[in-house]
Chain A
Amino acid sequence: MTVFNIIFYLAAAIVICATGLAITRQSAVHAVCYLVISFMGTAVIFYILGAPLLAALEVIIYAGGIMVLFLFVVMMVKDQQSPLDKPSRIKQWLPAMILAGISALMAGLLVFADPGNRLRPPAVMGTPREFGRILFQEYWFPVEIASLLLLAALIGALYLGRRADHPVGTP
């Protein structure tokens, strides 16, 4: 039980608790906040698992970019609390719990069945240098595609979000 392990299990616990809380909040803003915590924990896990660059990117992109965007939009949109449905917690969550439980069980069985999975990988770090080299040498094409994807997403979001009386392009 090294420090390594303790940090991992601790971060894992935080992630799970934060996610659990996030998905059960009534208010979306609360959920987003908890999710930010969850992603922070994930970043720690990434670091433990030997991907420091990814850990940083997780914080920057995921927690810092995506979740913030989420917050902006949640607060911008008038969120109606629809009076229609107020089913009891249990009744609403029961099917999901059952299905999730079964899936997790099955997947767990499959995972734990293979003895090769029991071994503990050595602790290595994937250096940013190495990461960058691979990214821009072997995976240069997917990177270009990803950038195009982002461009398309950008234009799409821009267009979708415009007001009817404010056409795109005008201030």
Chain B
Amino acid sequence: MKPVLFLLISFPLLGALILALIGRYLSRRAVETIACTTVAAAFVLALTAFLLSGQKAHSVTLARWFAAGSFQVDLDLYYDPLAAVMTLMVTFVSSLVHLYSVAYMRRESGYTRYFCFLNLFVFAMLVIVTSGNLVFLYLGWETVGLCSYALIGFWHEKPEAADAGAKAFVVTRLGDVAFGIAIALLWINIGHLSVSGINDGAAGLSTQAAGIIGLLLLMAAIGKSAQLPLAVWLPDAMAGPTPVSALIHAATMVTAGVYLLMRFFPIIQGSPFVMAVIAFVGVMTVCFGAFAALVQKDIKRILAYSTISQVGYMFLAVGAGDLAGSLFHLISHAFFKSLLFLAAGCVIHALHEEQDIFRMGGLRQRMPQLFWLFLAGAASLGAFPLTAGFFSKDRILLAVFLQPQAVYKIFWAIAAMAAVITPLYAFRLFFIVFFGQPRADAGHAPAPDSRVSVPNLMTWVLWPLAVLSVFAGFLNLPVNWAGNEWLAHYLATVPGAAPEPLASPKLESAMQMGSALITIVMVIFAWVYYGVRIQPGENGETTFQNKLHALFLNGFYLDRFYQTRIIAPYRAAAGFLWQQVDAGWVDAGLDQSARFFLTLAERLRHWNTGRVSQYVSMMVTGFTLILCGLTAAWWYFQI
């Protein structure tokens, strides 16, 4: 087991190192091959480890990292069913994204840097998922932040891309600070930094300590997973290449926060307050994302807000105590969201970098393959009956509903309302892009039947994802569908996971019926509202409640709030300190003192009159002063 796990995380790292060191001397084909094969090898190894592990947890120590007195940190790996599922998902999606990137980046010149960071990202994500030591996990955590910064700002000549990369890094940094404090508190309270040690010792924490640590971990997760209040970086992060968005901001990095909460669930369980807070954050973010996604015009921004919303569902599930449900939704979301992002990338690519959905249209005829792929993704996102998204979201809603506290019923209601909006925005996107008349692109009006092409590789990799989006529901088929809830049972040994929600099959069926009905109704509504009524050239949005529209469009003005309330005063203070204090007092003070000496010398110069009599006078004055001093000393010692 140990060599398998070691190679699992080493292969992507090796790929990154090779590309970093000698990548510039290799041909494009060689670079692509190295990148893709290392990640594919990691997938094979993940599969092997999954098959070999049984359902047990394995702890493997790779090496001692550092030791300072009694504090020592080892490079530990901890492989249990949770880590198994995550590694499979991460490596699978990464392999597909790498293949996609080969075609997507075929005309870019910075491909070595791109693949190097992509590989490094995969390595870091695998470290997060399989790490057995908190500090090692923190290493991976920071590295994914670094790679995210590098990849979002890949086209660093564009100012918005560079700014978006910096914004992502800085905002997630806020969460990382909380994470660091949590690590310190865990060391103080439990004395271990290994995952197993912490989870075992979590029972011994007081409710207060568990609460504080839980809140800090939540803060860290909020940063990485772009939840409220730190959700502002994800929409801007769309300035990066689309495969990056697919990998990082759909499947892997934004789920790292959820994974953290799941991994340390025993701590969070120790404080019902923290669980309620997590659920609250989740449900607020669900609404925030859903409403904002409803009115966006940029295809990638819609998907970004959708991601924020769906990760909110995962948080909600953790807050409701259902680890299996959260993981289930994580997996299905990884599949359908990355599918949607990659398909969007195809669309953008085909229409020559057009990202405004109201300038697309009629792609059903022009890109038939992509039509079906996109449909699969949108259906799963909207929780169309029998898709993976349907089963996973339903399980989450059920788990929230079943929680005994009253506040969870409110959460359930809000989440259900957002579940109404989700198919609406998903199919709004679908219908506007793929139906109606094609818009003019690049100056000439195309015929409705003309085909637009993208490289085959970009569409081929989407088929596995589409299949999985639709059929991954079978991973955790509920009992009333004659399923065996495989995923929930598989996770039974993970600390904190409960195998199945204690619900009567009737309740479960009733809820599923209800949500299925709502989804179908919303799809029809979206068809009516957006599909049929779109005419060429028309914006499609009525002037009905313009302010509400603007509110949603601007992400509830959260960005602007931060800009005016936090960033602008900070800037003003920094400007003051710079101009007034540093340049004004410190620098000017130094200048003044230097100039003082200059003027002093200038004035003293006049003592050199060249007149002998004056020099003699000076001597006599000095003599007099010495005499006075002597007298004073004598006087002092007399008295």
Contacts and interface: CB of A to CB of B under 8 A. Distances in A.
Interface stretch (A2-10, A19-27, A102-110, A125-133): A102-110
- Secondary structure call for the B interface: helix
B630 to A, nearest CB: 7
A95 interface: yes
Contact of B630 (A95, A102, A106): A106
Contact of A106 (B617, B621, B624): B624
B596 interface: no
Contacts of B620: 96, 99-100, 103
A19 to B, nearest CB: 17
A113 interface: yes
B638 interface: yes
Interface string B194-215: 0000000000000000000000
Interface in A87-139: 95-96, 99-100, 102-103, 106-107, 109-110, 113
Contacts of A106: 624, 627-628, 630-631
B624 A99 contact: yes
A12 B128 CA distance: 106
A107 B626 CA distance: 11
A110 B634 contact: yes
B623 A103 contact: yes
Contacts of B623: 103
A107 B620 CA distance: 14
Given A95-B617, A99-B620, A113 B634 contact: yes
Contacts of A95: 617
Contacts of A99: 617, 620-621, 624
B627 A107 contact: yes
B638 A102 contact: no
A33 to B, nearest CB: 24
Interface in B540-591: none
Contacts of B631: 106, 109-110
B490 to A, nearest CB: 103
Interface residues of B, number: 11
A99 B623 CA distance: 9
Interface residues of A, number: 11
Contacts of A102: 624, 627-628
A99 B620 CA distance: 7
A100 B621 CA distance: 9
Among B623, B627, B638: residue with most chain A CB under 10 A: B627
A144 to B, nearest CB: 32
A28 to B, nearest CB: 16
Interface string B612-626: 000001001101100
Contacts of B628: 102, 106
A93 to B, nearest CB: 12
B617 A110 contact: no
A131 B216 CA distance: 102
Contacts of A110: 627, 630-631, 634
Interface in B591-639: 617, 620-621, 623-624, 627-628, 630-631, 634, 638
A96 B631 CA distance: 20
Contacts of B630: 106, 110
Contacts of A96: 617, 620
Interface string B315-327: 0000000000000
Contacts of B617: 95-96, 99
A65 B627 CA distance: 34
A113 B634 CA distance: 9
A69 B631 CA distance: 40
A95 B627 CA distance: 17
B209 to A, nearest CB: 77
Interface string A45-71: 000000000000000000000000000
B625 to A, nearest CB: 9
Nearest to B631: A106
A96 B627 CA distance: 16
Nearest to B635: A109
Nearest to B621: A99
B619 to A, nearest CB: 10
B384 to A, nearest CB: 108
Contacts of A100: 620
Contacts of B638: 113
Nearest to B616: A96
Nearest to B630: A110
Contacts of A107: 627
Nearest to A109: B631
Nearest to B614: A95
A85 to B, nearest CB: 10
18 contacts: A95-B617, A99-B617, A99-B620, A99-B624, A102-B624, A102-B627, A103-B620, A103-B623, A103-B627, A106-B624, A106-B628, A106-B630, A106-B631, A109-B631, A109-B634, A110-B627, A113-B634, A113-B638
Given A109-B634, A110-B631, A113-B634, 13 more contacts: A96-B617, A99-B617, A99-B620, A99-B621, A103-B623, A103-B627, A106-B628, A106-B630, A106-B631, A107-B627, A110-B627, A110-B630, A110-B634
